[in-house]
Structure 1
């Protein structure tokens, strides 16, 4: 099994890594002190979304990036490497949203 990035995956990884390095101070540290300030969490979520790192595998028409599961895995790897907190509401983003997108109606 080949675990090396394809050229496209390597380019995505470089983009994700550069974004996380550029915004490290704004994102905070996963291993650092936690905050219960919802405003901080929402601002961090908006920054990650604007950077294309939330909803990676969601279709573009549903507000996602239209990416692949491997691109999501790369985001997860790079966020762990950079020691930045992940997005909030992972169950909603990773399970509930995709279920509604796939099985729900336009109204949902």
Structure 2
């Protein structure tokens, strides 16, 4: 077992109830493993307490990255929440704790 943060880092952005999480491997050679292991369903299940909607994965092979667009961020998202839990940066940290 390996935690995602051992293979990659994550950049985040958020607008309202949509969070965009981009996973970038530390080494491009790990990209095929991330494509195989890091599915939209897996990300959705892992972030279920914080994401109430759909998760769509976009493969970005030219930059060796995976981007996840997460909709239905619980609590109204960053623009209406006073809690840190629904901010994209918090969600990206939670994602990096996923066991692969």
| TM-score scaled by length of structure 2 | 0.27
Tell me which structure has the larger Cα radius of gyration. 1
Which structure is higher in RCO with an 8 Å CA cutoff and minimum separation 6?
Answer: 2
| TM-score scaled by length of structure 1 | 0.25
Higher fraction of helix = 1
